[in-house]
């Protein structure tokens, strides 16, 4: 498998993975990633900012994520809890795995590569959030050793469970 930054030619394949994830969440009654978010403009902006990454097997893109280092305004306020660490942190947003690769440890690869990037960036921790009904992502996050820290709200005021892991 190859982990690398995305480029613009990857957008169609990335969007297939995103649209599949959106459909899955909708079928599960989870409001996360609905209303045309994330969309190709979101991914394009991630690529322009150097924050979009993919995992590719021999033939195709099998996972995508935005990995961002530095302050994220979404995490400036936390309710019913506290962050574990202060200082520079990384954030994983918009992580999705191709449907036929779910359950094969690909999210674990995203986490592993994020930790590697985070150490290179001298970050103290990695943060991530998910919808309260997204139990599959919650399990993946907790399995990876992240600690639940409290509740944050997205720019659209949607409630999210927030987690952090020290590096």
Give the model's pLDDT for residue 162. 98
- The residue segments making up the domain with residue 87 are 2-166
Give the model's pLDDT for residue 155. 82
The pTM score is 0.95
List per-residue pLDDT tens for the chain, 167 residues long: 999 999 999 999 999 999 999 999 999 999 999 988 999 999 999 999 999 999 999 999 999 999 999 999 999 999 999 999 999 999 999 999 999 999 999 999 999 999 999 999 999 999 999 999 999 999 999 999 999 999 999 887 899 999 999 99
Number of domains in the chain: 1
Give the model's pLDDT for residue 35. 87
Give the model's pLDDT for residue 80. 96
CATH of the domain at 115: 3.40.630.30
Helix 40-48, helix 11-27: angle, nearest 10? 130
Strand order, beta sheet including 52-56: 2-5, 52-56, 61-69, 89-97, 125-130, 159-166, 147-153
């Amino acid at each position: 498998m190859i982990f690398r930054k995305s480029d613009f030619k990857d957008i169609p394949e990335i969007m297939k993975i995103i649209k599949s994830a959106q459909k899955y969440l909708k079928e599960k009654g989870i409001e996360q990633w609905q209303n045309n978010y994330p969309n190709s403009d979101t991914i394009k902006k991630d690529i322009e900012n150097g924050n979009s990454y993919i995992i590719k097997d021999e033939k195709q893109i099998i996972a995508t994520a935005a990995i961002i280092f530095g302050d994220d305004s979404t995490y400036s306020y936390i309710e019913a809890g506290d962050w574990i660490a202060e200082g520079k942190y990384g954030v994983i947003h918009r992580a999705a795995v191709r449907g036929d690769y779910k359950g094969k440890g690909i999210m674990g690869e995203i986490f592993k590569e994020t930790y590697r990037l985070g150490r290179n960036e001298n970050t103290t921790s990695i943060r991530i959030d998910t919808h309260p009904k997204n139990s599959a992502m919650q399990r993946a996050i907790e399995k990876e050793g992240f600690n639940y820290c409290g509740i944050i709200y997205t720019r659209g005021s949607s409630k999210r469970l927030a987690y952090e892991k020290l590096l």
